[in-house]
Structure 1
């Protein structure tokens, strides 16, 4: 029997803090969810991987948002998302100036270097500390965490990290849906505790003589059509640009160079952003519980000429090459 997602969450939306005029899919996971609500959230999440989906962001005002008088100073909303604008020539120029002395042959290190090229204007140390806080699961209302001893804190943080990793790679039986015929999850780099995560070697991208190591968060292959979808997952409570950040796309561009991905008939890369907040289940509830919200899902073709040239140029600089002139602007 189909579950009405909107109806299932209708009684909780005021407690969850959704703006009245918020549009898009509302994808939420919580450990205390019923099976039906979890199944519906899974359906929505999987659909967002295999097709363009507008996501409602719990942290951002919709464009037609009108305050209802219930917003508080402690729970502000970001302004409607705008694109992250890049001047390719200036970005490449800065990359020339701050090439790493000892680049590491990993995709994550390349992405961190890309982040450093713009972090002073689109994120600072406070943003990173807030991101780390979110990653650790230290949320609003978790006062008992601060009064626990160090061993208990570590245990609580690991439990939260394990829950998020498990939930973000859980697909249930959704791939058995006829709409997704042929699709198979062939790799998960989310480092689940009971799984050994493997790495791909990318011989076309070398640092010195060492091929880049890559471990995508989620990598799907369609055995029928030969298509590939690669998903990169980020956790953030920062303001999100409508086209996400360059470091996410640089990371996904690297994954698109994995040998069997390069041979795919078609490649789509998807950037997901999630946020976590400890909130009450209802207005009358006394305890707060962690809720995992999808905040954004954006997709691109990594083989697009401008996209490929831009990140290939940056990788040459990162790996120690001289780079060259970039004739095409990266699309916004």
Structure 2
């Protein structure tokens, strides 16, 4: 994934302390300019509504865990290995979760991950953000879309999960209400992932308060 876009991207005049607002900004400037009818639709109002309105339930969470992709990239687990900690579904409307180490001005970020699961055995946290797309697998980049990475990075800073030994960040893709074979996966403790998103966040107008709590990689200058 190319990072040069952030050097020339104009900072918003009024940045908002919400992960999806930050992700919207990343989306706006990280992708090449599109022509009308290009079919690139990873982030639009219809997709957001569809995502919240119906494709998220416990049955589909269980199905996701049992897919070949999940078992290859995350590990062989059964649904009973995971407990559901948070679900942002159309009918549940949970309270936003605080990420007090990420500030825009003096305001900490609050956000609603789609799904948060915790492993019963090793306490690993899995955060899932679901996106819909019309793109075919061959047109989806292997290293993911920057806006999805940015939004999940924000969620990895949620106070409730800072003590987890590891946080897995899964960008799960859907097409026509069916799981796409390709997904995106980042790990909170990955230095390059963390540094990349910090750079974008600071360009956006945010600041990161270093966390000394167990499980969080703390970047240092140099």
Give the alignment's TM-score, normalised by structure 2: 0.74
Evaluate the alpha carbon distance shift between residue 169 and residue 205 of structure 1 in structure 2; reply closer, same or farther with a 3 A threshold. Answer: farther
Q: Deviations over 1:167-222 (max 9, x none)?
A: 785537x89x9745542010112x322x1322111110011111101111111112
Partner of 1:208: 105
Taking a change above 3 Å as real, the CA distance of residues 130 and 94 of structure 1, as seen in their structure-2 partners, is: closer
Cα deviation per residue 1:204-246 (whole Å; 9 max; x = unaligned)? 0011111101111111112432211111111011331122211
Root-mean-square deviation over aligned CA pairs: 3.3
Separation in 2, partners of 1:120, 1:316: 21
Offset at 1:293?
Answer: 3.8
1:148 equivalent in structure 2? none
SS at match of 2:56: helix
Relative distance call for 1:248 and 1:129 in structure 2 (3 A) is closer
- Name the residue aligned to 2:198: 312
Residue in structure 2 matching 1:246, options 146, 151, 175? 146
Cα 1:212–1:125 change in 2 (3 A) is: farther
Aligned residues: 196
Aligned counterpart, 1:183:
82
Is the 8 Å Cα contact of residues 231 and 272 (structure 1) preserved in structure 2?
Answer: yes
Structure 2 residue ranges without an equivalent (≥5): 67-75, 208-219
Retained in 1: the 8 A contact 2:42–2:132? no
Structure 1 residues 269 and 115: alpha-carbon distance in aligned structure 2, compared to 1, 3 A threshold: same
Using the size of structure 1 for normalisation, the TM-score is 0.51
Aligned match of 1:259: 159
Distance 1:203 1:131 in 2: 26
Listed as ranges, the gaps of 5+ residues in structure 1 are 1-84, 137-156, 277-290
Paired residues for 1:142-161 under 5 Å: none
**Larger Rg belongs to:** 1
Q: Note the 1:43-58 alignment, pairs <5 A.
A: none
